[in-house]
Amino acid sequence: MIWYILIIGILLPQSLAHPGFFTSIGQMTDLIHTEKDLVTSLKDYIKAEEDKLEQIKKWAEKLDRLTSTATKDPEGFVGHPVNAFKLMKRLNTEWSELENLVLKDMSDGFISNLTIQRQYFPNDEDQVGAAKALLRLQDTYNLDTDTISKGNLPGVKHKSFLTAEDCFELGKVAYTEADYYHTELWMEQALRQLDEGEISTIDKVSVLDYLSYAVYQQGDLDKALVLTKKLLELDPEHQRANGNLKYFEYIMAKEKDVNKSASDDQSDQKTTPKKKGVAVDYLPERQKYEMLCRGEGIKMTPRRQKKLFCRYHDGNRNPKFILAPAKQEDEWDKPRIIRFHDIISDAEIEIVKDLAKPRLSRATVHDPETGKLTTAQYRVSKSAWLSGYENPVVSRINMRIQDLTGLDVSTAEELQVANYGVGGQYEPHFDFARKDEPDAFKELGTGNRIATWLFYMSDVSAGGATVFPEVGASVWPKKGTAVFWYNLFASGEGDYSTRHAACPVLVGNKWGKYFIYSVKRM
């Protein structure tokens, strides 16, 4: 079984939008056009309101001049029969017309458009997902909150800033997830921006309320007490802060008593606070994974590097590649990872895009216990499935890989096209099934995965590497290339050194096309 991956960019038509926008760059680009349409509609509404007010203003100015003259000599003014008639007409008819104009709702067009477009809007899940994506990027690429807030990311074309309110919302998302580490970081950033004089809809009291509790939950009682006192200086009547202050002082007094009653050799000991500076979902392997995503911790030595070469490959004298052999480059030695250069054309990419557009949905993984497909937080992306018979280009791509690898694609399952959206990732995993997962691919009706073929169909501004934590390898996207490695040894045993991960894209777009099937040697 081989696994193909294609990296592409896709723009979805508006009619296909649905929840889960944060998992797909393609769908989010469509939202840009939706918002642009709404802005145009809003400007039309504003123009209509301005025209309406201009009519009312002209009426008011005309009546102001008229009444100013009339009030100077009321009897003389109405003594003129024309003036008397026009006064009756204005009060009986024209003021009613003005009333109707004032009451006329000019927002109907805008509200109607907004109602239609709202069905394509992201929901609460999307907003929370996008917030979590920022936190994930923060951890993976070791970014501080100020760097993110000021938009100082590598390779950015459109710089954007976070307001204090934005930072506060990120902190609230982390708080809801009981992620007090990130709660502290983002509430401190919000507070810092407010202290610098930023005008905001949020106040320091609200920020300090969350911040003090997050700090307490991480075991820093002294800092929690200081922050609570600072909150009470701003709002002495704050009920929760007053309660927390008493509780914190009680705990500190109790700890002090315990220390006093301890023996001499234990008198200097203090209650060990919870470890700070580690994300709530931290895993030992994640440190290696994140370092490799940043381009750190790569374990290729100069001596091993000298044994990596570039060459031309004719697919074991395959007629298709004798006159125009494929360009090969060794990326890694163990496991052996080979990159093929100029292996897929821009035209082929566009056709794959068009075929994938209508079918994207949240990507799934195989539950090793049930063998069924399910979504998972460690894989955040959208995917679509394509068959070789749908288009000759898909079939041609499949045959190209068969010719270059010598692996038969006749039992292949459908091609999977996936898009990693904002902070999208696929955490460290194996492409093959282990011995304790006999039913891993039962639902697919295939055997184990022998090899992985990965097409890169876009360049990524920052991030997006494929990394191998077990061996300290990082492979970076390069448009028009593909990388290939075996997941199984010749004996059929799994090669555990092929455990790999898709790093989240920090700046840019990344798409993947997976093709999974049973194979045999030709």
Q: Please write the tens of the pLDDT for every residue from 213-226.
A: 999 999 999 999 99
Name the nearest CA neighbour of 424 among 516, 514, 357, 506: 506
Provide the token pair at 265. Answer: 């050799």
For the segment 79-99, the average pLDDT, to the nearest whole number, is 93
Q: Domain 124-255: give its CATH superfamily.
A: Tetratricopeptide repeat domain (1.25.40.10)
| Tens-digit pLDDT profile for residues 282-334 | 557 888 999 999 999 888 999 999 999 999 999 999 999 999 999 999 999 99
Class of domain 285-516: mainly beta
| Tens-digit pLDDT profile for residues 24-61 | 666 677 888 889 999 999 999 999 999 999 999 999 99
d(CA 432, CA 333): 20
Mean pLDDT of the chain: 83
User: What are the backbone dihedrals phi and psi of residue 236, each rounded to the nearest 5 degrees, phi first?
Assistant: -60, -20
d(CA 395, CA 386): 10
Please give the pLDDT value at position 276.
54
**Does pTM top 0.85 for this prediction?**
no
Instruction: Pick the more confident residue, 387 or 118.
Output: 118
Please say whether the beta carbons of 427 and 378 come within 8 A. yes
Please give the pLDDT value at position 87.
94
In single-letter form, the type of residue at position 55 comes to Q
Please classify residue 66 by burial: count the beta carbons closer than 10 Å to its beta carbon, then call 0-12 exposed, 13-18 middle and 19+ buried.
Answer: middle
- Between strands 473-475 and 466-468, the pairing is antiparallel
- Tokens 């700046």 correspond to what residue? 507
Q: How confident is the model at residue 23 (pLDDT cuts 50, 70, 90)?
A: low
Please say whether the beta carbons of 449 and 516 come within 8 A. yes
Within 10 angstroms of residue 87's Cβ, the number of other Cβ atoms is: 14
Positive or negative torsion for Cα 242, 244, 247, 251: negative
| Tens-digit pLDDT profile for residues 108-144 | 999 999 999 888 888 888 888 889 989 999 999 999 9
Over the range 292-320, which residues count as b (16 or more CB within 10 Å of their CB) and which as e?
Answer: bbbeebeeeeeeeeeeeeeeeebbeebee
Residues in the chain: 522
Please give the torsion angle defined by the CA atoms of residues 337, 343, 344 and 346, in that order, rounded to the nearest 10 degrees.
120
Q: How confident is the model at residue 368 (pLDDT cuts 50, 70, 90)?
A: low
DSSP-derived secondary structure letter, 40: H
